[in-house]
A and B are shown apart, each in its own frame.
Chain A
Amino acid sequence: MDTGAAGGAGGCGAAVNGTRGGGPKPATAAARSRSGGGGGGGGAPRGGATKGAGSAWRHLLLRLAVLVLVFAVWQLAAEAHGSVYFPPPGRIAHHMYELWFSGPVRRVFLTDAAVADVLPSLGRMAAGFGMAAVAGIALGVAVGRSRRAYALCNPVLQFARAVPPPALVPVFVVVLDLGTQMQIASIAFSAVWPVLINTAEGVRNTDPLRLDVAAVLRLHPVERLWLLLLPSALPRIFAGLRLSLSLSLILMVFSELLPGSANGIGFTLTDAQSRSDLPTVWAALLLLGILGYLLNTALLAAERRLVGRGRSTA
């Protein structure tokens, strides 16, 4: 079962984790190699850290260099071409600054437009993602703890996951009408599956010897959950959360693209498009890319804090 690759159709593919049924170790290894260059060797107190510190810095510089190079080429190409449809990134960045980040200091430089569009989007995404994470982990533990429940639920879960999430949005529009509720429900309902499936898989793969240990220590069921099941499923849970996060971003934008939306980054996008305001369209796209990157980085940092330690030989 390739639950790790759930919902891989999304464009923000950074979070796709291809490890299959491999228990904690491969998932962690994948996470480490993915996040390796970011913060030096912080997550690996033993071995690699000392040796890799120098090369990690070189790696970081190299990555920055590639980024700068890409933007430089883009800038030069756009300037040379001079098309109104493809403004150079410098102009887009300036436009972004004017649109959203030139506000007063007491509002952390946010403009009225940012407060009216960017914050509501983020709020809805946070609400939807948060609900998906909580429900997904809770249900995933329930399903993963029993072999029979897992066997019974698995086909349903695979089916639910296979439905392209944006296709569900019309259903929610009909049921809940346009508005914040519908948008949050769309995000939550789409993002819940990867967390649920990965959590169930992670809990199911708890080392049987450790379950014996828990039985011999006669841990209370709640202690068993907190001290054994959740920690050993954590790498898989994070694999699911990363997928869910990128789905949340996709659904956030998609639910705001619908006619009738009142605000949001997606709304800014369609609104600007209808006014042929291309710099704003580009600014919104760039903002979405940056948001996706930052959110994913934050999740990786949280994962490294919670999972990175203690798993090197687990």
Chain B
Amino acid sequence: MTLRLDSLGQRYGEQVVLHGIDLTVPDGQLLCVVGPSGCGKSTLLRTVAGLQPAYEGSVSIDGTPVTGVPDQLAVVFQDYGRSLFPWLTVRDNVALPLRRRGLPRAERREQAERILERVGLEGAGRRHPWQLSGGMQQRVAIARALVCHPSLLLMDEPFGSLDAQTREDLEDLLLEVHRSDGATIVFVTHDIDESVYVADRVVVLSPGPASHPVLDLPVTLPAERDQITTRGLPEFVALRAEVGRAVRGSEPKAPAHPDPRP
């Protein structure tokens, strides 16, 4: 699925959050959107997901303008604890998106179990989300997103509240899923390393208000990535530095501290 944003703008009341965003994400690309917190990354995702109408400009998928929540779309939110339904078992949470397909219950459960196995949660289907660790809960949320084989996957800082080890495991899971399913993925993060590690392309947003892209960088790392070796490559270091400069350079300067010595 090709995602296209045309001079997209978004505002809350008088405050301009996003302004003049032109972006085309070709089919199958994993795009990372990086920016300082509060720059409107989440608003951007909500607009693409059709949860919030665009204030100006437009969002289109394969040429069709987005007016509501599009078909074949899945979203993974940062707050897995709130995004899962605690009163349903893990399996029933994962099977939720299959309801609109009109599949019988047994079939839904079977598909849910299969996708749970894929994200490394075999045997956890009958438990409740709150019985699992944070990393496992986010795996459940990812399984719920994948169960319908979406062609557009939006991820809003999905690993932001996980510990480093879990986060790396899930980054690798994401890369594996992307390689095998080939969905178009828009991944929002504030973590510069993470963005370079997972992405095919990184877009840096300026700080708000009126946030817009300040850097659009293809990631030329080999497709096969590994937490240790990839992060040690000179190319990775160079890319990270470039993204880092764009993020920092775009941050407003800290209020100048009066220096006692000239």
Residues of A within 8 A of B (CB): 45-46, 207, 209-210, 212-213, 215-220, 223, 227-228, 231-232, 234, 309-314
Closest Cβ of chain B: how far from A168's Cβ, in Å? Answer: 36
Please, which residue of chain B has its CB at the minimum distance from the CB of A210?
B82
Contacts A209-B79, A215-B69, A228-B85 given; indicate if A312 touches B97 (C-beta within 8 A).
Answer: no
Contact indicator A310/B128 (Cβ below 8 Å): yes
Q: Total A-B pairs in contact (CB under 8 Å)?
A: 65
Q: Which residues of B contact A218 (CB under 8 A)?
A: 69, 100
- B38 sits at the interface (CB 8 A): no
Interface string of B49-67 (1 = CB under 8 A from A): 1010000000000000000
Please, which residue of chain B has its CB at the minimum distance from the CB of A209?
B82
Closest Cβ of chain B: how far from A197's Cβ, in Å? Answer: 22
Closest Cβ of chain B: how far from A234's Cβ, in Å? Answer: 8
Contact indicator A314/B130 (Cβ below 8 Å): yes
A227 to B92, CA, bound (A): 10
- Give the 3 A-B residue pairs with the shortest CB-CB distance, closest first: A313-B130, A231-B87, A314-B86
Closest Cβ of chain B: how far from A138's Cβ, in Å? Answer: 20
* B17-25, B29-37, B70-78 - interface stretch: B70-78
Contacts A46-B131, A231-B87 given; indicate if A313 touches B81 (C-beta within 8 A).
Answer: yes
Contact indicator A216/B87 (Cβ below 8 Å): no
Closest Cβ of chain B: how far from A50's Cβ, in Å? Answer: 15
Contact indicator B130/A216 (Cβ below 8 Å): no
> Out of A213, A231, A232, A310, which one reaches B130, CB within 8 Å?
A310
Q: Which residues of A contact B46 (CB under 8 A)?
A: 212
Total chain B interface residues with beta-carbon distance under 8 A: 23
- B233 sits at the interface (CB 8 A): no
A61 to B9, CA, bound (A): 66
Q: Which residues of B contact A207 (CB under 8 A)?
A: 82
Closest Cβ of chain A: how far from B120's Cβ, in Å? Answer: 21
Contact indicator A231/B85 (Cβ below 8 Å): yes
- B210 sits at the interface (CB 8 A): no
- B220 sits at the interface (CB 8 A): no
Contacts A219-B99, A223-B99, A309-B128 given; indicate if A209 touches B86 (C-beta within 8 A).
Answer: no
Q: Which residues of B contact A209 (CB under 8 A)?
A: 77, 79, 82-83
Q: Which residues of B contact A45 (CB under 8 A)?
A: 131
> Out of A213, A216, A311, which one reaches B86, CB within 8 Å?
A311
A45 to B87, CA, bound (A): 14
Q: Which residues of A contact B130 (CB under 8 A)?
A: 46, 310-314
List 14 additional A-B contacts (Cβ < 8 Å) besides A46-B130, A216-B74.
A209-B77, A210-B85, A212-B77, A217-B97, A217-B100, A219-B99, A228-B85, A231-B85, A234-B87, A309-B128, A310-B88, A311-B87, A311-B130, A314-B86
A212 to B73, CA, bound (A): 13
- B96 sits at the interface (CB 8 A): yes
Contact indicator B100/A220 (Cβ below 8 Å): yes
Closest Cβ of chain B: how far from A29's Cβ, in Å? Answer: 14
Q: Which residues of B contact A213 (CB under 8 A)?
A: 75, 77, 83, 85
Interface string of B95-118 (1 = CB under 8 A from A): 011011000000000000000000
Contact indicator B75/A216 (Cβ below 8 Å): yes
Contact indicator B69/A216 (Cβ below 8 Å): yes
A13 to B49, CA, bound (A): 48
28 residue pairs from A and B, CB less than 8 Å apart: A46-B131, A209-B82, A210-B85, A212-B51, A213-B75, A213-B77, A213-B83, A213-B85, A215-B51, A215-B69, A216-B49, A216-B69, A216-B73, A217-B96, A217-B99, A219-B99, A220-B100, A227-B88, A228-B85, A232-B87, A309-B87, A309-B128, A310-B86, A310-B128, A311-B87, A313-B81, A313-B86, A314-B130
Q: Which residues of A contact B51 (CB under 8 A)?
A: 212, 215-216
Question: Most chain-B CB neighbours within 10 Å: which of A45, A210, A232?
Answer: A210
